[in-house]
Amino acid sequence: MPYKMQFFVSNPQAMNKPTANISNNGLVPTKLSVFKVKLPCTNLLNAEVDVNIQMNISIFSSSNWTGLNFKRRKICRKDPTIGLRSGSSYSSDPHSFFAAPSDSDKVNNINSSTYLFYIAVGCACVIILLIALAVTAYYLNSQKASAKGYADKMRFSMLECTDGQTDRVPSNQTASEQLISCPQHCEVSVAKTPDSQQQFSPPSPSDTSSSQALTQQSQTFLRADTPNNTTGSGLPNFRQGICIPMDTKGTDPRLLLEEISIERNRITLGEILLEGTFGQIYCGTIITEDEKGGEFEQEVFIKTITDQARSDQTQVFLQECCMLKGLIHENINPVLAACLTPPDQQPLIVFHATSEGNLKKFLQKCRMSECGSHYALNTQQLVYMAIQIIRGVQFLHRKKIVHKDLATRNCLVDSDLGLKITDNSLSRDLFPNDYNCLGDNENRPVKWLSIEALLTHRFSPASDVWAFGVTLWELMTLGQQPYADIDPFEMSAYLQEGYRIAQPINCPDELFSVMACCWAISFEERPKFSQLLVCLQDFYTALGRYI
């Protein structure tokens, strides 16, 4: 039987024509025999080649052929050494007069591109590193400048004379000798309770070492009663003759506000800063006169109420606005002017404006730094604000005024962290979660009140000390809610059992010891504001040594 054998490949450039060790034409052997077929690759490129071996066999006649197809697939690899051995090859196109690039040229081009890529990446990394270093240096310098500015303000204020006498500690005493123990009420022990609050109880011989450590810290950071060092410098008068505070008790607030009245056409309302159920605070301007008689615009905050307010709510609003009327101090923000006419329109009460507005809102914005706040407050800055609160309250107490509602919501702050205490007008409406009614038809700041104010409505400078301790806690937590899990109706029993707010995270033990001293059950055992001022000034100075 004759046979014919043919070979077919799918990619002649990757594989040469296959060859067999027998002839392509002949007779089929009568005995079993083996033949071989070579599939030679060209090694010029990487490819997968399909090979078809076709064998035609004639069985009965030369015109009757039977075809057998053997298919196989082979992978051919490129040999990179061919170009190096043969040098530059030429294009297989006979009409081409240009030499084709060799494999070595291609490898060199690839290596050059890789080198350029790595160089570009390295340069970019160096630039990013330099920018990061520059930003870090700028941030550190700004922080140092800010801390230095606060320190200069503190140093200046501490050197200024006040209307009281200052007790000086002999210069030959050391710092440890100058500090004396805290009053007995600061010797407290701390026990964790199931609700993560803290209970304060008198020390016992079985106190733990941690309780003793807290007691020692509390004893270290209070000093004997010393008259305050606040400054008497004040803000410029809006109108002459109002710098003497007046007793507003039993006096119609409209008569008091008439003394600083201003025409309505001189007031321009801007955007709303805070809004409650019936109260609103606007950012606006007023047209006022300077010392030479010229007129200029002044940015102010304007408090007013809506038409939904009842007459008794209007009366309370005006009465509270008069609380700080006529007081001039750098840490007090009294009423500046008022417009009560025409009678059929709601009154407009004008106050000095600050760049950052309400302190509680400012602290909450700093806590949510991803919302765009450009402040990252540190402990020294928070202590600096607490010191300003003390100075403002001291000034009020010298004027025989008890604030009764000391809290961050009733403070304003400037861009340089200058702080001013304001009255509590509209606070019940703008911060409803901070006030509660205990069945006596009166909304009160229950969680800021001292135990005697809560039970017997008795207010004194000592009750302001208690409220300052809660305000200091607000500062250290950046505006969180005190006693958030305690029912307002259970607050009196809770405090009488000795429980207090837990120590804030990242709050130094020294500051929490100050808070604990402010929350003594007996008002006589609480520290004076003069003691608190000396304590926080010393702590502020100590913090400055490590910045």
54, with CB counted inside 10 A (0-12, 13-18, 19+), is: middle
pLDDT tens-place string over residues 450-490: 999 999 999 999 999 999 999 999 999 999 999 999 999 99
Residue 190 pLDDT greater than 50, yes or no? no
Q: How far apart are CA 533 and CA 547, in angstroms?
A: 21
Which residues, listed in sequence order, are joined to residue 299 by a DSSP beta bridge? Answer: 285
d(CA 336, CA 257): 10
Residue 31 reports pLDDT greater than 50: yes
Edge-to-edge strand order for the sheet containing 65-76? 25-27, 2-9, 47-58, 65-76
Q: How far is CA 492 from the centre of its chain?
A: 34
| Cα 360–Cα 532–Cα 511 angle in degrees, nearest 5 | 65
DSSP 186-198: G--EEEE-TTS-E
**CATH 3.30.200.20 domain span(s) along the chain:** 253-352
Asked: is 253-352 a CATH 3.30.200.20 domain? The reply is yes
List for the chain the helix, strand, coil content (%; round to 5).
40, 20, 40
Q: Tell me the residue type at 440.
A: D
Cis status, amide bond into 342, omega within 30 of 0 = yes
Backbone angles phi, psi at 90, to 5 degrees: -110, 155
From the list 115, 114, 108, the residue with the least C-alpha distance to 88 is 108
What's the pLDDT tens digit per position in 362-393? 999 888 764 455 567 889 999 999 999 999 99
- What secondary structure does DSSP assign to 120-176, as a single string? HHHHHHHHHHHHHHHHHHHHHHHHHHHHHHHHHHHHHHHHS--SS--PPPPTTS-HH
**Span 359-544: which CATH code?**
1.10.510.10
Residue with tokens 């500046």, as numbered in its chain: 336
Can you give the pLDDT at residue 102? 53
User: What's the average model confidence in pLDDT over 282-295?
Assistant: 84
Identity of residue 333 = N
3-state class (DSSP) for residue 372: coil
pLDDT at site 218: 33
For tokens 């006529």, the residue is 326
DSSP 265: G
Identify the pLDDT of residue 251: 76
Could you tell me if 540 and 235 are in contact, meaning their C-beta atoms sit under 8 angstroms apart?
no
Q: Identify the residue with better confidence: 126 or 210.
A: 126
Residue 106 has pLDDT above 80, yes or no: no
Strand, helix or coil for residue 351: strand
**For the chain, where do the domains classified as CATH 1.10.510.10 start and end?**
359-544
> Looking at the predicted structure, is the pLDDT value of residue 225 above 60?
no
Residues belonging to the active site: 405
Query: Residue 131: CB partners within 8 Å, gap ≥ 6?
Result: none
